[in-house]
């Protein structure tokens, strides 16, 4: 929903409010286990108002199906 809003909504305060998000990141996380060494990350999550609305709509649809 967020990506569609970024593309199709006309410019203005509503578009800016609905598509503005917070992107927390984690990483990179290095793991060294004597025999193997690897790194995970960085991992980022883009959270906005429309993404939360999308999760809520998906939950309500799934709840009504089951």
> Domain limits of the chain?
2-14+29-65
At 56, give phi and psi (nearest 5°): -65, -45
Q: Which helix (H) or strand (E) holds 40?
A: strand 36-40
**Percentage of residues of the chain with pLDDT beyond 70:** 100
Query: 21 pLDDT band (50/70/90 cuts)?
Result: confident
59 vs 13, which has greater pLDDT?
Answer: 59
SS3 state of residue 55: helix
- Judged against a pLDDT cut of 80, whether residue 2 lies above it is answered with no
Q: Which residues contact 24 (CB under 8 A, 6 or more apart)?
A: 44, 45, 47
Q: What is the pLDDT of residues 44-61, one digit of tens each?
A: 888 888 888 889 999 999
**Residue range 33-40: mean pLDDT, rounded:** 88
């Amino acid at each position: 929903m967020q990506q569609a809003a970024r593309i199709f909504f006309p410019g203005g305060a509503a578009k800016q409010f609905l598509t503005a998000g917070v992107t927390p990141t984690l990483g990179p996380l290095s793991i060294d286990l004597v025999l193997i060494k690897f790194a995970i990350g960085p991992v980022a999550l883009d959270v906005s108002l429309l993404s939360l609305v999308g999760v809520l709509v998906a939950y309500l649809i799934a709840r009504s199906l089951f």
